Amino acid sequence: MGLFGPKSPLDTDEWDWQLASFKWLIMEFGGIERHPANRLVLPEESFFPKTSTDPSRKAQEIFEQVKMLAGMGDWPTRLVQGDQTREMVLESGQMVKHDSHAPAGEYRLLKADDGEYYAQISFNPAQLGDPTKLIATFAHELSHYLMSTAKTAPPGGWEVHELTTDLCSVYLGFGIFMATSAWNFAASNEGWQYERQGYLNERMLITAMVIWETLAKRDPLEALPYLKPHLAKDTKMANKFVQKRDLLDELMSTDLSLFAGGETAAEDSGTV
């Protein structure tokens, strides 16, 4: 956009890659019609009814709800508990959760005794106290599962599949959860701590959510009440930019051959 129009929330390469990736997702898995109930998933009880207080049951109930909302309710899966994050106290009053901590989740495509494939998805039990992060984790791992059925490689190739997997989570309707969980910085009794989750940063996730909600002919600003203040501001800015463009025409004219990556096969495992 020019000097007198809304500023782009992404640089040119990031913007082009997102449009190419959404075009690829639509071509591989369908548009809004792929799941008639598909909509922007909100952190409300109407989407996520109250769950059991038993940790193992709680995780399973949330997982099944995410599967249903993603249109994957009947896909064979097995949920297992993974390792728990342990904070590192660097010095008195300071604590950090490093990127090298136990993964939030892990996806593996396995073959059962009957020869049928299923996804084994693990979760970090430390997230049981933060359903928003847990839902984002499940959305990401289920996106791995969905993408394993793709007939072609995503823009940039399978070597950047983790980035596309985050974008796929937005495509499935979980943009609010992905953006909210991407970066957390907070004070506790032990001191200051920060934690990252996922692969795309907040700005890219917010822009992706605005792009997808616009393509789906929904109002991206419906997300505002559920976002952190700085993310709500970013959403408004991205929406101003997107609404000034012929987004559908721009997406349809995107040449996916310009984003061709390696010819390696789809990943059968992944982490977040």
Tens of pLDDT, residue by residue over 10-55, are: 999 999 999 999 999 999 999 877 776 678 999 999 999 988 888 8
CA–CA separation, 141 vs 144, rounded Å? 5
Res. 63: pLDDT tops 90? yes
Between 95 and 59, the higher pLDDT residue:
59
**pLDDT tens, position by position, 213-272:** 999 999 999 999 999 999 999 999 999 999 999 999 999 999 999 998 755 556 666 666
What are the helix (H) ranges across 5-80?
Answer: 12-29, 55-69
Pairing of strands 117-123, 77-81: parallel
CA torsion angle 193 194 197 200 (round to 10): 180
**Residues 10-25 as b or e (16 or more Cβ within 10 Å = b):** beeebbbbbbbbbbbb
State the pTM of this model: 0.86
CA–CA separation, 217 vs 220, rounded Å? 9
CA-wise closest residue to 137 among 161, 121, 156, 151: 121
CA–CA separation, 54 vs 160, rounded Å? 37
CB pairs under 8 A, 24+ apart, for 228-235? 228/180, 230/202, 231/179, 231/180, 231/202, 231/206, 234/9, 234/202, 234/203, 234/206, 234/207, 235/206, 235/209, 235/210
Question: How high is the pLDDT of residue 270?
Answer: 60
**pLDDT tens, position by position, 179-199:** 999 765 544 555 444 456 678
Confidence of residue 169 (pLDDT cuts 50, 70, 90): very high
Confidence of residue 78 (pLDDT cuts 50, 70, 90): very high
Question: How high is the pLDDT of residue 267?
Answer: 62
